[in-house]
Structure 1
Amino acid sequence: MHSDIHFQLHTLTAAELHRETADGHGRPGPLPATAAAPALRVRLGWTLVALGLRLATPTPHSIRLAA
């Protein structure tokens, strides 16, 4: 898909969503976030990044040279 067509579709969809929320017929907005929720989400995100890096990086003892 061409970038200008993608941008136009995105603009139309955003305008439609704005109209729905202005009319009050759309879904309710997001719940108010507490101070603890972003901190937990950030810690969980960095934990998942560290886990992914551990899984993607080979350990030194797993490399074997042919003799």
Structure 2
Amino acid sequence: MHPETHLTLHHLHAAELRAEADGHRRAVAARRPGDLRSRLGWTLVELGLRLVAPPRAATALP
């Protein structure tokens, strides 16, 4: 293969890879970054509140 042809193909392939990486970066940035973190935080808060709450009295069955 002629060196100039090889170089042109290399440049085209590199441009495709850069475009694909750009698309991936945009998709990651479009997601809400704190969503998982906030869900985990609120789950831990709920668990902590359940642990510190006094146990409920058992109701007597007739």
Class of the TM-score when normalised by the shorter of the 2 chains: 0.3 to 0.5
Higher relative contact order (CA 8 A, sep 6+): 1
Superposition TM-score, scaled by structure 1 size: 0.38
Superposition TM-score, scaled by structure 2 size: 0.41
Larger Rg: 2
